[in-house]
A and B are shown apart, each in its own frame.
Chain A
Amino acid sequence: MATDPIHHFYINRLVPIEIGGLDLSFTNSSLFMLATAAAAGGFLYLATSSRAVVPGRGQSVAEMAYEFVGNMLRDSAGAGGMRFFPLVFSLFLFVLVANLLGMFPYFFAVTSHIIVTFALAMLVIGTVVVYGFMKHGLGFLRLFVPHGVPGYLVPLVTLIEVISFLSRPISLSIRLFANILAGHITLAVFSGFVVSMSALGAVGVVGSILPLAMTVALTGLEFLVAFLQAYVFAVLTCMYLNDAVHPGH
């Protein structure tokens, strides 16, 4: 079992539910999404319950997270973007906590499934499109017509811009999913080496120190990736929301 590097990505039905031919089972993925939401929400609830003027440790972390996301959003989308703060903050925390929870041995990494990250990305792009049309009406379409382009190039450039816009949710979701998936597979492969090498006797046990060291190093790397990808996801969300708030001028 230990040598199957993708074993920990399997989805298992914990509570089989089927409604109208749709498989709506409660799976391990759902369980860990719930755990992620509960961990993030619970942490913030506990951390902000005392509301001291001089913050304690938990409150400091919560305030830092708030400031971090708030500054990021204000920098990229301006003060008008702050209405999206709840969305961006929840997304950031969800991705971050999901990535970090996935780092526990035997835990399921929710963000290693592209359908999850794609749903998150579609949520972002859907917000951008809906809000953009609500606020600017058809003026939102100016987003696709860069000004300063010679007239005969406008149709071509607009088509390219539209494709570029449509590719955003895909690249957003692929980036997060691929990073987490690749990282976890690499970790599993190297720790699998440790197991299979140490089965070879004394020489193997000594030799397995190498992959073990690699596993330790990769674990550190994966924690970095977990933070980095949550950050990248949130930053790109902010940038896309900026388009909805000010679609060109």
Chain B
Amino acid sequence: MATPERPDRPGGWSDPGQDAEDRELERRKRQLEAKLSAHPVRAPADEGRQEPKGGMAGLAQGLKLSSEFIAGIAVGAGLGWAIDLFAGTSPWGLIIFLMLGFAAGVLNVLRSVGRVAPSAVPGPGEANRNLRAPGGPDRGDRGGSGK
């Protein structure tokens, strides 16, 4: 009790050890927060938020995911077909781009359920982000740096 009492703690005693402990706790809390927010698996902030719970949400989710997937394949196949048309490489363009489109469709789906981290902002927790390799800077830094 050698140190003067802190005015912000009614009846409080404050030895330096306690303060250091508080600070340490505070620091660890912040670290955990940063780690959690940087975790690759996060709730998709888009539709998940306001969607009503229940069967309808599942139906909406299903329609959404299927449209993402189909769009990826359709665009891939369309590109391949167009390339074949202009370069006369039929059928290789179609075959290759159909597969690429398939990959893009899977990427779309994974991204829209939040399994692939959208963020490209380097931050704490970068080490455990090997998963995000195909993620890319898509969807920007929402929630990452706040700007």
Contact = CB atoms under 8 A, between A and B. Distances in A.
Interface of A: 75-80, 142-149, 153, 156-157, 159-161, 163-168, 170-171, 174-175, 178-179, 221, 224-225, 228, 231-232, 235-236, 239, 242-243, 245-249
A22 B60 CA distance: 38
A246 B68 CA distance: 23
B63 to A, nearest CB: 6
Interface stretch (B18-26, B28-36, B100-108): B100-108
Contacts of A239: 46, 139-140, 142
Interface in B48-100: 50-52, 56, 60, 63-64, 67-68, 70-72, 74-76, 79, 97, 100
Q: Please give me the 7 A-B residue pairs with the lowest Cβ-Cβ distance, nearest first.
A: A248-B137, A146-B136, A171-B71, A163-B104, A167-B71, A170-B71, A242-B140
Contact of A148 (B64, B75, B108, B132): B132
Interface size class of chain B, counting residues whose CB lies under 8 Å from the partner chain: 35 or more
A37 B116 CA distance: 38
Contact of A164 (B45, B108, B129): B108
A185 B122 CA distance: 48
Nearest to B136: A146
A247 B129 CA distance: 19
Contacts of B105: 167
Contacts, number: 140
A168 B46 contact: no
A175 B141 contact: no
Contacts of A245: 140
B107 A160 contact: yes
Contact of A170 (B74, B129, B132, B141): B74
Contacts of B135: 146
A78 B146 CA distance: 6
Given A78-B141, A156-B100, A164-B107, 20 more contacts: A75-B45, A76-B142, A77-B142, A143-B137, A143-B138, A146-B120, A146-B138, A148-B129, A160-B100, A163-B101, A163-B104, A164-B111, A167-B72, A170-B71, A170-B75, A171-B68, A235-B46, A239-B139, A243-B137, A249-B121
B134 A149 contact: yes
B133 interface: yes
Contacts of B76: 163, 167
A216 B45 CA distance: 32
B9 interface: no
17 contacts: A77-B140, A143-B136, A153-B133, A159-B100, A163-B76, A164-B107, A167-B71, A167-B105, A174-B71, A178-B63, A232-B47, A232-B60, A236-B46, A239-B140, A242-B139, A243-B137, A247-B137
Q: How would you classify the secondary structure of chain A's contact residues: helix, strand, loop or mixed?
A: helix
B71 to A, nearest CB: 4
Interface of B: 45-47, 50-52, 56, 60, 63-64, 67-68, 70-72, 74-76, 79, 97, 100-101, 103-105, 107-108, 111, 120-122, 129, 132-142, 146-147
B136 A161 contact: yes
A175 B136 contact: no
Contacts of B142: 75-78, 239, 242
A178 B120 contact: no
B120 to A, nearest CB: 5
Contacts of A247: 137, 140
A235 B47 contact: yes
Q: Name, among B47, B70, B75, the residue most crowded by chain A CB atoms within 10 Å (CB to CB).
A: B75
A246 B121 CA distance: 11
A221 B63 CA distance: 15
